[in-house]
Amino acid sequence: MSATRRTQRQRREETRQRLLDATIDCLVEYGFAGTTNQRVQERAGISRGALLHHFASKADLLTAATHHVAELRLARLHEEADTGTRTREQGLALLRSAMSGPHFLAGLELWLAARTDPHLKAALLPAEREVGAAQREVLAKLFGPEVTAREDFALLCESLLVLHRGLALTSVLRDDPDFEDRLLGLWADRFLGTAT
């Protein structure tokens, strides 16, 4: 039995996907400054011509990677939220899992670079708004209407996102899961009240 031949469009999309995945890998491994077109090309296992066919510049590549990272984070948030009913602690652990890992780290690298790169910042803002909206949906699924109906719901969502970013940055120098658990527990006590 012969394998089904891929169309030209499928091959182009596969190459593009490999480039974006390689970019994320490079952001995590080498940071923003160390993510070069050459490294991405080598990691993806493609020619320079193929890279330039899809992305004419590093800025184009990183802009696309910004949206790709956001899409992956959105998918993970929704996947985690759709796993059924859970206690407050299970919900917080689930969010912590979704708001960490390589895609989250790649996103942080892009955030830091956007501070001094207006083009990257412009690309990052809509993608991060989508992630924020997805996080609000996830919190609604995890903690129910009694939380989403609260006057401070927007602050609750934003503070949790800021807290996860801070924990991710702090973990670079201090890997202390017990401290992170206590800090997230303190956040939950403040915003969610007693355990459910």
Averaging pLDDT over each range in 16-25, 70-79, 147-156, which range is the top one? 16-25
Q: What integer best gives the mean pLDDT of the chain? A: 83
Give, for 126, the enclosing helix (H) or strand (E). Answer: helix 118-143
Pairwise pLDDT comparison (85 vs 82), residue with the higher score = 82
Alpha carbon distance 76, 53 (integer Å): 30
pTM of this prediction? 0.73
Report the amino acid identity of residue 84: G
CB proximity list for 45: less than 8 A, separation 6 or greater: 18
The per-residue pLDDT for 195 is 44
- pLDDT at residue 81 is higher than 70: no
Please state which of the ranges 3-12, 73-82, 101-110, 147-156 shows the lowest mean pLDDT. 73-82
